[in-house]
Amino acid sequence: MKKNPHFILPVNWRITKLLRTMKLLTFLLFFSLVSVSANVLSQTKISMGLENVTLRQAFDELEKQTGFKFFYLDEQIDGLQLVSLSLNNQTVEEAIFQMFGQDDVKYKIFDNQLIVLSKFENPSEKQGIRISGTITDAVSGEPLIGVNIIFEGTSLGVITDANGKYNIEIPSSSGVLIFSYIGYNTERIDISGQTTVDLQLAPDITSLDEVVVIGYGTVRKSDLTGSISVIKPGDYKEQPVSRIDQILQGRISGVNVTNSSGAPGGNLSIRIRGANSINGNNDPLIVVDGFVGGDLKTINPSDIESMQVLKDASSTAIYGSRGANGVILITTKSGVKGKQHLSFTTRFSTSKVLSTYDLMDAGTFATVNNERTTAMGTSNVYTDAQIAEFKANGGSDWQNEVLRTGTGMEYQLDYSGGNEEVKYFISGNYLNQQGIIINSDYKRYSLRTNLDAKINTKLSANLKVNFARLENNNTNGNGNTSAPLAGAVNWAPTTPVRDASGKLTPRDPTSSIKDNPVELALNDHIIEANSFTANGGFNYDIIKGLNFNIGYGISYGNSQIKDFNANLLSNNPDANRGSIESIFLQNTNTLNYSRLINDIHQITLTGVFEQQLLQTDKFNARAGGLTYPAFGYDNITLAASLSGSAFKEKQSIRSFIGRVNYSLKDRYLLTASIRSDGSSKFRGDNKYSNFPSIGLGWRISEESFMDNVTFLDNLKLRGSWGKTGSQAIPVYGTVTTFYTGSYEAAMSFLNGTTTPGIIVGNPGNDNLKWETTEQFNLGLDIGIIKNMFTLEVDYFSKKTTDLLLNEPLPGYSGGGSIYRNLGQVNNSGFEFSLTARVINTKNLNWNSNLNASFLTNEVKSLGAREQIFIDPDYGAGLTSVPEMILRPGYGLANFWGVNYLGVWHTGEETEAARYGQVPGDSHFEDINNDGVINFDDYMIIGSAIPATLLGWNNNITYKNFTLNIFFQAMTGFDKWNFTYGAAILGSADARQITHSDILNRWSPTNENSNIPHFSSTDYPVIQSSRFLENGSFLRLKNLSLAYNLPRNLINGLNGSVMIGATNLWTLTKYSGTDPEAYSTQGNGDAAQGGDAGAYPNSRTWTFGINLVF
């Protein structure tokens, strides 16, 4: 670790500033420096004898004896000669005189206990020279703010200001200045008489000396043994990023970010190296500034300094029982010492749907459906006159009714700065996005204050406060057969949206059996989530290398739920009002010891004790049959029926952690850790579990035999093994409780009323224990030609055992399910990340990153079960059999249906007749060949888990222009298009066919069609492979151009403007609106990939301006 440079400031300024700092800290941290002594200076007599000690040691002794505190800056005493003290009942003043001589030092005394020393009152009197200059980015030419400049061999240093300028006094006219900046190559310049040194720093692509945040500590990237990916703002600053998933998506190998909902603020799924758990949560653990269990949605992306994704067990095992799904560490920004920095960003965007379903117009629809009724032998729905009128006047375009052009705006203001003692970062953000479906919108308000304070040379403190409010309206969840978009493809174009008086048509007489899609879209489903998080603590350097850190965190969450459904169809408007309040407390105590022994053994020991407590309180009130629907959820007492519920739960974790990092000669690396977690969710011997890990690294490129291989800058082999866990069961999993909710237990003994009840709930299993994931990782890092190309390759193999499986119990035993530790899931795969500086000239630069991940996911065992059905019920009302199944030998998410073989063709009359069918009817595979297509013919027909992920990110800079081109691809998975199925079958939620594909249906003259003709002997099955489609896609996720305004455009003002497009182009065979989005009806990863009116992602254009003052 480099020493921090310090400013040299006049003594008076420093003292007042220090005092201000002290007051601030006192106020902020509720922390008072306890008064040790009230003695006046002269009354304290000292007797001691010291021979040839450093000044620091001398002060330490004096502090011990007197109780006074001495404040001084390191650089003032470092390097000064040793002193001897001989005091015999003398005062502190005399001691200081002995140490410095009368003229060399000034001191002041505060509150009779603080002695603040200043050696150089007027530095200009001292011999030396002044050097100044400007530091810029070698690539962009932009000034670099906060570059460290140190005079070699001393601790004299400064940093550059907002214009990249610096000014340093050094005591000699010769020597070396060291210019360093995180993410850039460090430069050493021999000054020899120069007074102006301007420098261009080149970005350090590999950043081997970069410090990487790991759990409960940091490590040099070159010392890493685990698989950790780092993202910094520089990787995405040219792109319109307003959510963290936009940062993570496609940029890191092994990380799958899927926007399952395209709604603003909508659902997304993040999977690191596949999904382990069948029933448990597979979301990675989010750690924000050491606070475990954060929520990505509450973090303003602009506040992020860096993100680390921990993938292998050597990195994640330190998080023990919650590390099994990988960990995302987020470090938020701190102020930087130096000039104040004020930055303002605003962005405006418009969004449109990627594509719509090709539905028939009213005239065609009416004609086709008359053909259908004729073929089915029933009477026509429309008269010729009606059809003529529809052809002349058109009908309803339901997709157009529920879709719109969404708009968005975002304002971001941040202010930072600091000095020796205090650094601050304050940031405010407001985001307001309208979705592409009417009445769906998202607002985010966030305010963050990060403070870092250095109380004295040993003690520092920090506090990070974040408030976020998220307002989601109709952007939660992600569609089902009752979603507006599902309704829009089901409602007949011949049905008017509204009647003559402007009232919404409550029911579709022709096609859909569900509510008017416009009504559905206009219903409110609001969640207003407020989250307040404060975390911080103290860091104390006990002795050199030994450091104690104590951290506290508190997070308060309050979500208000407001729902209203007009229910025009049943004329039974209902409303729901709920509240969820949670409080989460964390205390982390870390002892860190780091030492370099004999110049070759670098050893770091870490010990942690941590406790966490989460308490959640919920209540809910629900009203049916509102007397005054206009009151909505705001006044629900006037209703035909009212029900309420309240719920409280508490869970806690206590952890002990130990870790050793050892590096020998900078080339042989070892990391070993163990974490012991105790959880309130488990009982007896299962309460605690241990999670060990070990990681080894070999920096082959540092070996002497590699000295001749000059093109190879870095070659490192990494290997790791470890265990992580998941405690992904709800509370009370070990106890049998009675359910008391009206849904579970209430009974009506008189129609229209309820009597509350209790009913035996799911049986508890007091033998439950952690789900354990054992992971092996082998990695290779290569950097060649001055790190122009760097390649990281990883192979991993994960085995998750003792799966916390929510095993369904047979109905005769009382039904429900029981949590058990059963079965095994394996994930394995390869990951590649190739980074290249393809072009690197003064004016033109092209940096490119290509990453790829290949995943194999397999359920190895389900205990004694041969298979387990999962019923997410995407096709609610369309299907009655579970749509997904788990079976050993297959992946985690398998579609269960009949296999569609196309239509029976001419010439197959005999075969078709066996099923009572004729050519042109649907032909399904009859597995047991019993002449009937029924549930016995269901089979696994596809998998929803992508096998391959690709990301290709390019930043091309020409002078002041930066172009970003970012492609993302996911391949090797299937999607179930229930939306299309409903529109083309005409026998489910849509009773008539609305999709244009029907015009190409089979006929004796259109033998190649796979779309069945109209027939009373046809057997339509939506849960068939006919509607299972290849979901693979390649997408131009981002295309943006930024222009850096000329420097100092107006009086110190800098900035940039950008224009960008998201999801501009997609290559896919998927016939739905968006291959990425899917309906999320079920829980867990075993239920994914069905699209029934899912909220699609949109094509968004963004214009943005950034100004820096």
Partner 1 sequence: MKNIALIIFITFFVISCADFLEEDLSTQVTSESGALSDVVGLTSALAGAYHPLTATWGSGLGNASTQAILMGGDDLTTHKASNKADFREFDQFKIATANGRLPFVWNGAYKSIQGSNNIIANYQNAKGDEAAIRQIAGEAYFLRAYNYFWIVRLWGEAPLLLQTQTFTEDVLSVSKSPIVDIYAQIIADMTFAEDLLGNIKPAPGRVCKGTAKAMLAEIYLTMAGWPLNQTSNYALAASKAKELIDNEATYGLGLMDDFAQLWPSATQNFDGNKEEVFALNFWGGDWYNGNAAYGLAARPGEENGWDDYFSEITFFNQFPEGYRKDVTFQTQLSDGTPWQEFMTQRPYYKKLQGPKQDWQNAVSMPLERMAEVYLTYAEAQIMATGNTSDASALEAVNKIVRRAAGLPINTPDISVDWTSATQDEIVQEKAWEFAGEYCRWFDLVRLQKVEEVLATKDPNDLQPLGTVTYFLPLPASETLANPNLAD
Which residues within the stretch 446-505 sit at the binding site for partner 1 (CB under 8 A)?
A: 459
Note whether 147 and 201 are within 8 A (CB). yes
Q: How far is the CB of 34 from partner 1 (least distance, A)?
A: 6
631 to 660, contacts with partner 1 by CB under 8 A?
640-643, 647-654
Q: What is the largest CA-CA distance in the chain?
A: 119
Sign for the CA dihedral angle at 491, 494, 497, 502 comes to: negative
Residue from 628, 738, 958, 1065 binding partner 1 (CB under 8 A):
738
Three-class SS state of 118: strand
892 to 951, contacts with partner 1 by CB under 8 A?
931-932, 934-936, 938
Q: How far is the CB of 989 from partner 1 (least distance, A)?
A: 9
Q: How far is the CB of 501 from partner 1 (least distance, A)?
A: 21
Residue from 1021, 1058, 1087, 1094 binding partner 1 (CB under 8 A):
1021
Choose between 224 and 566: whose C-beta lies nearer to partner 1.
566
Residue from 681, 923, 1037, 1099 binding partner 1 (CB under 8 A):
681
CA distance linking residue 787 with residue 716, whole number of Å: 13
Residue from 503, 866, 889, 1046 binding partner 1 (CB under 8 A):
866
Choose between 313 and 623: whose C-beta lies nearer to partner 1.
623
Stretch that binds partner 1, among 327-335, 518-526, 1020-1028, 1058-1066 (CB under 8 A): 1020-1028
Closest to 1081 (Cα-Cα) out of 261, 426, 395, 306: 261
Helix (H) or strand (E) holding 537: strand 524-543
Residue from 202, 426, 522, 731 binding partner 1 (CB under 8 A):
731
Half-sphere exposure of 346 (CA within 13 A, CB side): 2
Size of the site for partner 1 (CB under 8 A): 111
Choose between 711 and 935: whose C-beta lies nearer to partner 1.
935
Choose between 259 and 567: whose C-beta lies nearer to partner 1.
567
Choose between 121 and 936: whose C-beta lies nearer to partner 1.
936
690 binds partner 1 (CB under 8 A): no
24 to 83, contacts with partner 1 by CB under 8 A?
31, 33-34, 36
Q: How far is the CB of 754 from partner 1 (least distance, A)?
A: 5
Residue from 812, 841, 889, 929 binding partner 1 (CB under 8 A):
812
991 binds partner 1 (CB under 8 A): yes
Choose between 506 and 692: whose C-beta lies nearer to partner 1.
506
297 binds partner 1 (CB under 8 A): no
735 binds partner 1 (CB under 8 A): yes
742 binds partner 1 (CB under 8 A): yes
Q: Which residues pair with 990 in a beta bridge?
A: 512
Phi/psi at 945 (5° precision): -95, 120
Sign for the CA dihedral angle at 123, 129, 134, 137 comes to: negative
Q: How far is CA 897 from CA 83, 808, 886, 978, 1089, in A?
A: 86, 21, 13, 13, 14
CA distance linking residue 960 with residue 139, whole number of Å: 10
Note whether 532 and 555 are within 8 A (CB). yes
Stretch that binds partner 1, among 679-687, 711-719, 826-834, 1075-1083 (CB under 8 A): 679-687
1017 binds partner 1 (CB under 8 A): yes
Choose between 432 and 620: whose C-beta lies nearer to partner 1.
620
Residue from 38, 600, 709, 760 binding partner 1 (CB under 8 A):
760
Q: How far is the CB of 390 from partner 1 (least distance, A)?
A: 20
Q: Token pair 């117009």 is at which residue?
A: 361
558 to 587, contacts with partner 1 by CB under 8 A?
569-572, 574, 585, 587
CA distance linking residue 189 with residue 166, whole number of Å: 15
862 DSSP 8-state letter:
B
CA distance linking residue 275 with residue 1086, whole number of Å: 9
Q: How far is the CB of 373 from partner 1 (least distance, A)?
A: 8
Q: How far is the CB of 1084 from partner 1 (least distance, A)?
A: 18
Q: How far is CA 797 from CA 674, 723, 794, 944, in A?
A: 20, 12, 10, 20
810 binds partner 1 (CB under 8 A): yes
Note whether 685 and 666 are within 8 A (CB). no
For 544, residues 6+ apart whose C-beta sits below 8 A from its C-beta are none
554 binds partner 1 (CB under 8 A): no
17 binds partner 1 (CB under 8 A): no
627 binds partner 1 (CB under 8 A): no
Choose between 836 and 985: whose C-beta lies nearer to partner 1.
985
Stretch that binds partner 1, among 15-23, 673-681, 846-854, 904-912 (CB under 8 A): 673-681
589 to 608, contacts with partner 1 by CB under 8 A?
589
Q: How far is the CB of 378 from partner 1 (least distance, A)?
A: 5
Stretch that binds partner 1, among 272-280, 290-298, 599-607, 879-887 (CB under 8 A): 879-887
| Beta strand residue intervals within 899-982, DSSP E | 900-903, 922-924, 939-943, 948-958, 961-971, 974-977
Stretch that binds partner 1, among 8-16, 109-117, 287-295, 810-818 (CB under 8 A): 810-818
In the sheet with 114-118, reading across from the earlier edge strand, the strands are 69-71, 114-118, 106-110
Stretch that binds partner 1, among 11-19, 678-686, 851-859, 1047-1055 (CB under 8 A): 678-686
808 binds partner 1 (CB under 8 A): yes
Q: How far is the CB of 372 from partner 1 (least distance, A)?
A: 11
Q: How far is CA 251 from CA 217, 220, 471, in A?
A: 24, 22, 28
Choose between 339 and 681: whose C-beta lies nearer to partner 1.
681
Q: Which residues pair with 459 in a beta bridge?
A: 540
Q: How far is the CB of 625 from partner 1 (least distance, A)?
A: 7
Q: How far is the CB of 738 from partner 1 (least distance, A)?
A: 4
Phi/psi at 17 (5° precision): -60, -40
Choose between 682 and 973: whose C-beta lies nearer to partner 1.
682
Half-sphere exposure of 989 (CA within 13 A, CB side): 31
Three-class DSSP labels, 351-384: EEECCCCCECCHHHHHHHHHHHHHHHCCCCCCCH
Residue from 475, 726, 734, 994 binding partner 1 (CB under 8 A):
734
For 725, residues 6+ apart whose C-beta sits below 8 A from its C-beta are 320, 321, 322, 323, 324, 677, 689, 691, 770, 771, 772, 773
Stretch that binds partner 1, among 78-86, 359-367, 516-524, 876-884 (CB under 8 A): 876-884
Choose between 585 and 778: whose C-beta lies nearer to partner 1.
585
Residue from 22, 244, 431, 818 binding partner 1 (CB under 8 A):
818
Query: How many Cβ atoms are within 10 Å of 315's Cβ, its own excluded?
Result: 33
Query: What angle separates helix 55-66 from helix 92-100, to the nearest 10 degrees?
Result: 180
Closest to 976 (Cα-Cα) out of 900, 897, 899, 1029: 1029
Closest to 449 (Cα-Cα) out of 300, 234, 246: 300
| AA identity, residue 460 | S
Choose between 29 and 969: whose C-beta lies nearer to partner 1.
29
Q: How far is the CB of 319 from partner 1 (least distance, A)?
A: 18
Phi/psi at 633 (5° precision): -80, 0
Stretch that binds partner 1, among 239-247, 663-671, 680-688, 1098-1106 (CB under 8 A): 680-688
Beta strand 148-151 with 157-159: parallel, antiparallel or unpaired? antiparallel
505 to 524, contacts with partner 1 by CB under 8 A?
507, 509, 513
Choose between 308 and 1024: whose C-beta lies nearer to partner 1.
1024
